[in-house]
Amino acid sequence: MKESLNNIEEEVKGETIMIKVKLVVRVVKDNEAVGGYVKDVKLPFVPIIGMKFKKGISTTLWETIDNNELSPDVKHLIYDFDEECAVALFEVSEFLSSNFWTKLDYENLDDRCAEMSYFDCV
């Protein structure tokens, strides 16, 4: 085992390992999911529960359509073996306006939507 770890260390020495992470946001109003957002990113770390993400000055990551600023934390973290990525789950109470996110066509989604189905795992 130690030899295998040494081999891995030699392979990545001097290089930053980037981890595939899928950020999934569920918009919840009156205890009902009414929308969602997703973003695939590569990070030099694995997020942890409770971590907050920040980006931007003019339009921030968590700006809402009503110009409010949210500050959600990672609620749950899952590893998806099929997608080979970590999945960080967030919940917010308002729709977002940042162009960072890809808005899910929530009205045409069913309960089996890949992104929203991650919430069924928790």
Q: What tens digit of pLDDT does each residue of 78-118 get?
A: 999 999 999 999 999 999 998 899 998 877 665 557 888 89
Average pLDDT over residues 2-28: 72
Q: Which domain range does residue 58 map to? A: 16-121
pTM of structure: 0.82
106: left (phi over 0), alpha (psi -120 to 50) or beta: alpha
CB neighbourhood size of 85 (10 A): 17
Confidence of residue 12 (pLDDT cuts 50, 70, 90): low
Farthest-apart Cα atoms in the chain, separation: 55
The residue with tokens 């260390």 is 9
Is 39 among the domain residues? yes
Q: What tens digit of pLDDT does each residue of 29-56 get?
A: 999 889 999 999 999 999 999 999 988 6
Average pLDDT over residues 21-35: 93
Q: How far is CA 76 from CA 45, 48, 72, 88, in A?
A: 16, 8, 12, 6
How many domains would you assign to the chain?
1
In the structure encoding, which two tokens stand for residue 8, read together?
A: 């891995």
Is 70 among the domain residues? yes
Is 66 among the domain residues? yes
| Percent of the chain scoring above 90 in pLDDT | 56
Is 10 among the domain residues? no
Average pLDDT over residues 13-19: 81
CB neighbourhood size of 104 (10 A): 20
Is 54 among the domain residues? yes
Is 11 among the domain residues? no
Is 69 among the domain residues? yes
Q: Do 113 and 67 meet the contact criterion of CB atoms below 8 Å apart?
A: no
